[in-house]
Structure 1
Amino acid sequence: MKKIIFIVLVLFGSSAYAYDGMTSELSHAAGGAAIAAVVTKIADDSPNRAWIGFGVSATLGVLAQGYEMSVQKAKFYPSLLDAGSHALGAALGAWVTDKYFLTPIVSRSYSGVILHRQF
């Protein structure tokens, strides 16, 4: 059934054209959030998993826009807007995944005051 739905969507889907409107930037943010969520889930054992998810996703977004600017001769401002939207979505996706979908990492941490006196 999934294969049939995929074939129907591919055959009857229309071409998508990007522009600098709200829905275009939301799609970049959603893509960044999805990539960050997956990478954060993969790095589940690391105490810095949210930073890893954000970093990988934001880097991929910047590299994709840089490639688009160099090869397809895209303009600077729209590409910067797309990369920024992707990075904001990546930050949100990594944070939400780390905070609400993954189990917390318990580690030893100490807080308090230490008094050191030499006799």
Structure 2
Amino acid sequence: MTASKKNKIILDSEALEIRKKLIEAASKGETLTYSDLVSDDDDRHMGKLSKTLARISCYERNEDRPFLCALVVQKATGVPSTGFFMLCDDLGIDHDLEDLQRECFEYWGENKK
């Protein structure tokens, strides 16, 4: 999925709710696990979550805001799934996780929207 200023991305209610959780975590300087965002670890739910996080990330990128999905990590490893790194590559984003998370913490710590 690519994002450009010409293509307006509209988030559905589920994506808006997840975005709200991400912003809340960012404003507190925290990360979330994938299981914090879905009630069931079923692969179908995780697959849908991955697509939702990608849409949110493209939406934020269109608005020149930090890459919120950098805050979502695997419980066991503390790093995002491989899909996160693939999305970064697709969008041409340097995937230095610490930098991306810091950008979120700084931006949303100052701009609680």
- The TM-score normalised by the length of structure 2 is 0.32
Specify the structure having the higher radius of gyration (Cα). Answer: 1
TM-score by length of 1: 0.31
